[in-house]
Amino acid sequence: MEYVKNSTKLLLIVLDGLGGLPVKDGKTELEIAKTPNLDRLAKISALGMHIPVDWGITPGSGPGHLGIFGYDPLKHQIGRGILEALGLGLEVKDTDIAIRGNYATAQVQDGKLIIKDRRAGRISTEENIRITQKLSRAVDKIGDVKVLLSPGMEHRLAVVLRFPYTLPEGSDQIPDTDPQREGLPPIIPYGKNQNSEMVAKVVREFLSVAEEVLKDEPKANYLLLRGFSQKPKMESFSERFGLKACAIATYPMYKGLASLVGMEVLKFEGNTIKDQIKALKDAWKDYDYFFFHVKKTDSYGEDGNWKGKVEVIEEFDSLLPEFLELNPHVLVITGDHSTPSVLKGHSWHPVPVLLYSPYVLGGISDRFTERECLRGELGIFPAVKIINLMLAHSLRLAKYGA
């Protein structure tokens, strides 16, 4: 594809886990929510549904976002450790193994170490910072491998092991140490091949030191490690699509995803949608493409709290006029995947899409809901085509062929 330079502004708003299933009186969360602003916009927009990865595949947040950014998630496998580390501001190099960590509560039972709480009672972020600083002071290196730690939200942290040389492909093939259920012992890290076993040996030594450092903590007395990952080789978003892009997100993982594809992650005070809107307005003149992420639609869906999900949708709807005041040339509102409250988790269902531009047919749908999106002019299509549609509607794609 050949790209055309112009001054158009493209805004992608991701309401994480947006799609749902009937949860009350045969209605989904979107159908229950009172959304006058979204409904007015839907009437003059193009609606449809996207498939995040493939039919029947339930995506994680990483693949879900890569698809809507225009990267085929089946070709680009990205570990959670990389996303966590980048999102928390740690640089990741070709010499590194990035890991997502959880502080946990462990207890010796019948002579065996057992995980009693995989999330350490969801300790406060302030407590996490204190404990991570304590651990950082105690373990700067394992042999010639540098250890970098960064506290996340509540019980989460990022760990980067920086080796003195570039690691061969496959060095991250180490299973999670998290047993996934309380009452089980942690899994001893091991490598699935010769290169990863060399890394696993360093990980075992690190965990041994960490266990000693944390042993007197009342809750966070153990460390579980997940998502061992190496830095992938990816073409940047600007190289791929000719756009200067930025990201406005509050959670580390989504900042990490944006950073991984070369978007500039904006820093701002606060963590509410209104705080994010202020950051968007402040940056509006400086970028071509804006990725705006709202998390709580997904969080409440995973909790099975359909009322909470409805409230977030309604809050977003009340703020929609502030986005429209910026007069984006192309606006897309969608999710990275569906998180129906009835399933309390991500699902394989298609995700609603709204595309607003001067060049849509419109006049087909009355509301922004799953059923109305099924009636829309976009139909059901792969998530990786969203960026093509945005580029086309912003007149940034040249004619193909003679």
| Model pTM score | 0.79
Question: CA–CA separation, 314 vs 55, rounded Å?
Answer: 29
Q: Is residue 2 assigned to a domain?
A: no
The answer on 196 and 109 residing in a single domain is yes
Q: Is residue 153 assigned to a domain?
A: yes
The answer on 262 and 175 residing in a single domain is no
Residue 355 belongs to domain spanning? 10-76+234-393
Given 209, 229, 249, which residue is the final one in a domain? 229
Given 205, 229, 253, which residue is the final one in a domain? 229
Given 195, 213, 229, which residue is the final one in a domain? 229
The answer on 387 and 246 residing in a single domain is yes
Q: Is residue 207 assigned to a domain?
A: yes
Question: CA–CA separation, 214 vs 135, rounded Å?
Answer: 8
Question: Looking at residue 251, what DSSP letter applies?
Answer: S
Q: Is residue 4 assigned to a domain?
A: no
- Domain total of the chain: 2
Question: CA–CA separation, 236 vs 78, rounded Å?
Answer: 15
The answer on 118 and 219 residing in a single domain is yes
Q: For 188-271, list the strands marked E by DSSP.
A: 222-229, 245-248, 264-265
Q: Which residues pair with 12 in a beta bridge?
A: 291, 332
Q: Which residues pair with 96 in a beta bridge?
A: 162
Q: Is residue 299 assigned to a domain?
A: yes
Question: CA–CA separation, 140 vs 160, rounded Å?
Answer: 11
Q: Is residue 119 assigned to a domain?
A: yes
pLDDT in tens, the chain (402 residues): 788 999 999 999 999 999 999 999 999 999 999 999 999 999 999 999 999 999 999 998 888 999 999 999 998 877 788 878 877 878 788 899 999 999 999 888 888 888 988 888 888 999 999 999 999 999 999 999 999 999 988 888 999 999 999 898 899 999 999 988 888 899 899 999 999 999 999 999 999 999 999 988 999 999 999 999 998 888 899 999 999 999 999 987 788 889 889 899 999 999 999 999 999 999 999 999 999 999 999 999 999 999 999 999 999 999 999 999 999 999 999 999 999 999 999 999 999 999 999 999 999 999 999 999 999 999 999 999 999 999 999 999 999 887
The answer on 210 and 176 residing in a single domain is yes
Residue 7 contacts by C-beta under 8 Å, 6 or more apart in sequence? none
